[in-house]
A and B are shown apart, each in its own frame.
Chain A
Amino acid sequence: MDLTACAGAEAGKFLPRILRQRRYCGPVSGISERDQIARAAAGDRTAQTALVNRHMPVVWRVAFRMLRDRQEAEDVTQETFLRAWKMLPDWEERAKFSTWACTVAINLCRDRLKKKKPVLMDELPEQIDISLRPEQALSQKQASAHITALVDRLPERQKEALTLSAFEGLGNIEAAEVMGISVEALESLLARGRRKLRLELAADSDA
């Protein structure tokens, strides 16, 4: 199926973020991921560079969204690839590299968040206190900060689900695998997260 054509037919006016991400994540060369990993493991710098260029930005964005700290996101990204370099010689085709890398990154982020905040994230209150003044005419930057603040205040698992699915465009099966949950559980988290955000945005508009 032609993704761009479908997007044009359905969305029409713009190319959504999710399609930009999926276009970016698509195949970038003629060689298979298995061959690329084998070459990278053998020290082929071209294959290593291709792996990094293809997957590092996604890993960094996931880490940054989870941690909201550039340095920590960089540390998580570097640690993820350090583990990858060690893993590659014994790589088994149980998972796509992107799934494996996102899983490692998410787990590293969870560890860091636990150390920062020893509170179960899913137990955080559902009510969101919006600090931005809704009557304010939001500039593009303010609008960006606003939605970021709303997403940041979601319970951790809902934020993870939205980060992987809505922002990074991972398929439902892959996103569920990264989070270690079922597709049904993923959909539940996504629906709850989106509903909460929608209500907050609607409240802003009404105020």
Chain B
Amino acid sequence: MKDERLYDLIAAYGAEPMAWPEDERDAAMVHLKAHPDRFAVALDEARALDLAFEREALPDVPAGLAERILEAAPAAHSALAGWAGRLREMVFPNGLRWPAGATAAALVMGVSAGIFSAPATADDGYQTAEEEVVYAALGYDGFEAYIQEVDE
């Protein structure tokens, strides 16, 4: 930190070090501590103005302004109420948005298509070894024998 820069900081931001840019503050304070007399006049002048700023009085924020602003705020979607809404909040805490929304939709469509188009079993039309055991336990010689007796 050079003298010139510290003078610039005081001239722009005042005498209070906390008003100085954060990235230069520590270096400026070290420099100031090393040469206090050099900057005394500049600091006094700046401090007088800082104190004048302190005297500025502003009226209070108008009563009810926050409420009036909130009246225009977006409302929560009623369709999302209940358990579905809570589930969505958990899965998509930041909202259902592209591409997350599209990904989720594609997933649902894919799973649905798979469920409704797939055969009931992997080897439909054929008796599995497990089924043979079940029908044998019931006293039938397989599925065909069971159907025959039921039809009769």
* Residue positions of A touching B, CB distance < 8 A: 3, 6-7, 10-11, 14, 16-19, 22, 35, 38, 40-45, 48-49, 52-53, 56-57, 60-61, 64-65, 70, 74, 77-78, 81-82, 85, 88-89, 140-141, 143-144, 147-148, 151, 165-167, 169, 171-173, 183, 186-188, 190-191, 194-195, 197-198, 201
Task: Verify A56–B12 contact, CB threshold 8 A.
Answer: no
Task: Verify A61–B19 contact, CB threshold 8 A.
Answer: no
Task: Verify B16–A44 contact, CB threshold 8 A.
Answer: no
Task: Verify B16–A18 contact, CB threshold 8 A.
Answer: yes
Q: Mark B71-85, 1 if CB is under 8 A from A, else 0.
A: 011111100000000
Which of B57, B65, B72 is the one whose CB lies under 8 Å from A141? B57
Q: Mark B7-33, 1 if CB is under 8 A from A, else 0.
A: 010011110111101100000010000
Task: Verify A190–B12 contact, CB threshold 8 A.
Answer: yes
Majority SS at the chain A contact face: helix
- Selected A-B contacts with CB under 8 Å, 9 pairs: A17-B53, A35-B93, A35-B94, A52-B70, A81-B72, A144-B55, A148-B57, A166-B14, A198-B49
Task: Verify A41–B12 contact, CB threshold 8 A.
Answer: no
B68 CB to closest chain A CB (Å) equals 7
Task: Verify B74–A165 contact, CB threshold 8 A.
Answer: no
**B62 on the A face (CB < 8 A):** yes
Interface-central residue, A49, A147, A165, by most chain B CB under 10 Å: A147
Interface-central residue, B19, B46, B72, by most chain A CB under 10 Å: B19
A187 to B12, CA, bound (A): 5
**B69 on the A face (CB < 8 A):** yes
**B59 on the A face (CB < 8 A):** yes
12 extra A-B contacts, CB within 8 A, seeds A14-B54, A166-B50, A188-B12: A7-B18, A10-B18, A16-B16, A17-B56, A65-B58, A78-B68, A81-B72, A144-B57, A148-B56, A166-B13, A171-B21, A172-B13
A60 to B12, CA, bound (A): 24
Task: Verify A43–B77 contact, CB threshold 8 A.
Answer: yes
In the complex, how many residue pairs between chain A and chain B have their CB atoms under 8 Å apart? Answer: 145
**B48 on the A face (CB < 8 A):** yes
A93 to B19, CA, bound (A): 26
Task: Verify A57–B52 contact, CB threshold 8 A.
Answer: no
Task: Verify B49–A42 contact, CB threshold 8 A.
Answer: no
Task: Verify A172–B62 contact, CB threshold 8 A.
Answer: no
Task: Verify A78–B19 contact, CB threshold 8 A.
Answer: no
**B129 on the A face (CB < 8 A):** no
Task: Verify B49–A201 contact, CB threshold 8 A.
Answer: yes
A12 CB to closest chain B CB (Å) equals 11
Which of B17, B19, B55, B66 is the one whose CB lies under 8 Å from A52? B66
B95 CB to closest chain A CB (Å) equals 6
A56 touching B52 in the complex, CB below 8 Å, given contacts A85-B74, A195-B11 = no
Task: Verify B49–A140 contact, CB threshold 8 A.
Answer: no
A71 CB to closest chain B CB (Å) equals 9
Task: Verify A165–B13 contact, CB threshold 8 A.
Answer: yes
A187 to B53, CA, bound (A): 18
